[in-house]
Amino acid sequence: MSRRVDRTFFSMTDFFEPSQWKERIQQKKQSIELPAGFPEDTELRETYCLARALDADLLQYFQQVDFSIDRRQIQCGIQTIADRFKLEVLQGLQKEKTDFNKNLQRPQSKFKNIFEFAGLEKLYLSNTYTRFISENLGHKLEDIADLSPYVFIPESRIDITLKGIDFIVIWDGKLHYTQLKTKKDTLTSSQVPRSINEFKIHLNSMFVAALDMGSRLNPSRTKARSNGIELRVGEEFWTKIGICYSDILNEISGSFRDIESRLYAE
């Protein structure tokens, strides 16, 4: 399966390398005008201009993409990402454990939390494990989405960062500027207004909860609909981009089982 155009951009007569494409977008953004009443937010203004400079190029880029899906190839990609997730987590947590014990041996005046102050290794590391694993998992779910020919990640492809946007999805000929969170309640209620402002500057925007888990969807479907934001949760997102949701759950669950058995072997 030819997923993409070798991370290059096809433009009628030329192929642009990532650095050339980035330079092209930076030049094009200079001619983009902000709508009247646009928020006084420097990062949002920069993102709007970059995104509008990208729009036409991305539509042309996606016209050259082979959208056929080879499930076996996707499965292999998910497995590779899950293995990398497991390795990074185990190495990272081992470093945390080593650092904790080193710190115990020398005088300290500042502590990360009460567990470190009390010298409680297991409670300290349990708290660290959850945070470290959750952050890493979010990045790996984004990597899995990037296996799909329907997804374009501007930061990894052409070194362009868009505030509040993780990647862009092409559906029915339209570009959807997308933010991905691990589960339904990853965003707190206090974070929702900021995310909505980040979505509203795009004609088509989408919030994705990668895993259909969590107590409550933030933003709610009502709030999303009133602000023109599409919501996709779990399988309804992954199926749409040609990736089997159960394959993700199975591989990630297997990695977690291996991680737990290694961390708590004693």
> pLDDT, tens digit, for every residue of 128-145?
888 889 999 999 999 999
Tell me, what CATH number does 222's domain have?
A: 3.40.1560
Q: Which domain holds residue 112?
A: 71-144+247-263
pLDDT of residue 4: 41
Determine, yes or no, domain membership for 129.
Answer: yes
- Read off the pLDDT band of 190 (50, 70, 90): very high
Compute the average pLDDT of residues 206-214. Answer: 97
51 and 157 inside one domain: yes
Compute the average pLDDT of residues 74-95. Answer: 95
pLDDT of residue 101: 86
25 and 54 inside one domain: yes
110 and 230 inside one domain: no
pLDDT of residue 14: 46
Determine, yes or no, domain membership for 3.
Answer: no
187 and 218 inside one domain: yes
- Read off the pLDDT band of 16 (50, 70, 90): low
pLDDT of residue 11: 43
Mean pLDDT of the chain: 90
> pLDDT, tens digit, for every residue of 221-255?
999 999 999 999 999 999 999 999 999 999 999 99
pLDDT of residue 266: 54
40 and 92 inside one domain: no
Determine, yes or no, domain membership for 181.
Answer: yes
18 and 114 inside one domain: no
Residue type, 245: Y
pLDDT of residue 110: 84
Among 46, 57, 266, residue whose Cα is nearest residue 170: 57
The strands making up 229-233's β-sheet, listed across from edge to edge, are 151-152, 167-171, 174-183, 205-211, 229-233
- Read off the pLDDT band of 124 (50, 70, 90): confident
Determine, yes or no, domain membership for 4.
Answer: no
Residue 8 has pLDDT above 70, yes or no: no
Determine, yes or no, domain membership for 102.
Answer: yes
254 and 158 inside one domain: no
208 and 224 inside one domain: yes
Residue 191 has pLDDT above 90, yes or no: yes
Domains held by the chain: number: 2
139 and 156 inside one domain: no
Determine, yes or no, domain membership for 47.
Answer: yes
Residue 112 has pLDDT above 70, yes or no: yes
pLDDT of residue 12: 34
23 and 46 inside one domain: yes
- Read off the pLDDT band of 3 (50, 70, 90): very low
Determine, yes or no, domain membership for 2.
Answer: no
